[in-house]
Structure 1
Amino acid sequence: MRCGTELYRESRLSLQSWLALTWGALAVFCLANYFPVARLSMQGQTLQATLLDALVMTWQQGAWLVALPATLFTFFFPLGQILFAMWALQCIRKRRLPGDFRYGLRMLEVLSHWSMVPVLLLGILVAMVKLGDLAVLHIGEGLWAFGALSVLLTILTRMSAYRLWRYAEEAGLVRRSGEGLIWPGRLPRARRAVVFRTCRCQVSCVVAVAVRGFIFASRIFATVSGHC
């Protein structure tokens, strides 16, 4: 390893600041799913739909292969990321770690990688541009909330399982940093190659999910325009 290589950067935010950020992300998540994403006007009729309404309409149209993964990647996984982060921070703040704390951190690490709210936001914007010549589109409050949620979730990705374990270590709740977590650098060379191949497979899956996100956003506005 070369000298001067950055291995870890300490966060400037305190534990209370991260906790406040998670509460803010949860509030914005509720607003984004409560208010309509867009309003569509065509032939004198106006229709508005939230993300959950669009998911239900997509399912009713028979496109369950699009509706099911979109529900996971744009609703349940982001919500799980926020809730698991809030749970871990509350456990550290109360200085009481449950026996399944390390498994909760692993789940948080997985959910943070599969939260696709920014992909959804980009897909909706592209679909709105393409449908701009067919109908009058108005940006709803939910779309602005999704933009703010994308920023907050991007910031929350910096609060990884390793960082939370460091907070627990500084609080004297664990013996050493990284105990119970599996990192590729600590694995044997054969298993490390397997991990790297798995990472390449995950990149391919992310690309496939991104394509699904664009298809899903297009189906949303196509379905909404069909009901208008």
Structure 2
Amino acid sequence: MSNTSALRIVWIYPDLLSTYGDQGNVLILKRRAELRGIPTEVVRVNSSDHVPEQGDIYLLGGGEDRPQILAAERLRADGGLARAAARGACVFAVCAGYQIIGETYGDDEANPLPGVGILDIRSGRGESRAVGEIVADIDPALGGGRITGFENHQGRTAIGPSARPLSTTVVGTGNDGHTEGAYQGQVLGTYLHGPALPRNPHLADLLLSWRVGRIAPLQPSWGERLHEERLAAALRQ
């Protein structure tokens, strides 16, 4: 954890990257930490602000093409997120955020643009848009389990040798029709909306464990019920 007594959750650029209700990821992390007696502090960082380097978990959400480009440019110029990741902070990025923390991503005309460079992925634009429910099996090295969410993107993502796929797709497209998301150390990205962490509370717990170590299990509640409901609905489709 950071030098303060609280777990610092840093929400990056909600003014640019919060198209699909991504504040839910902030709220569920805070709630599941506090249910375990872990104090939290949420730091909201708009695109006009510097990114603090002493956070514990950094969250990036989805966004449209132009805000995505602006967010990538400002994050690269600022450097705070890259320095935080280099010292071992956890980063969780969704869709547009997932693409821009990679080495390169594509703009709205499929031109490659430089990303932040903290995850060994390269993203471009596919011929068709991926829209709908997605189900995938998490890499067993992360504890396994099945995740579910909603994808709405035209991106296609190739994973380099320094990163690993987050999961293997069962339903939906994800990166390329075979894998979904990627991780490298404590940097993790995904195309899953929903938002991702309320729909997959075990994924939220994985992020928390990366920062605070072993955490006590919680009694199943609405988050687990939502996960099972959406998983069953997606598999029926």
TM range (shorter): under 0.3
Please state which structure has a larger fraction of its residues in helix.
1
TM-score (structure 1 length as normaliser): 0.28
Structure whose alpha-carbon radius of gyration is higher:
1
Q: TM-score, normalised by structure 2?
A: 0.27
Relative to total residues, which structure has the larger strand share, 1 or 2? 2
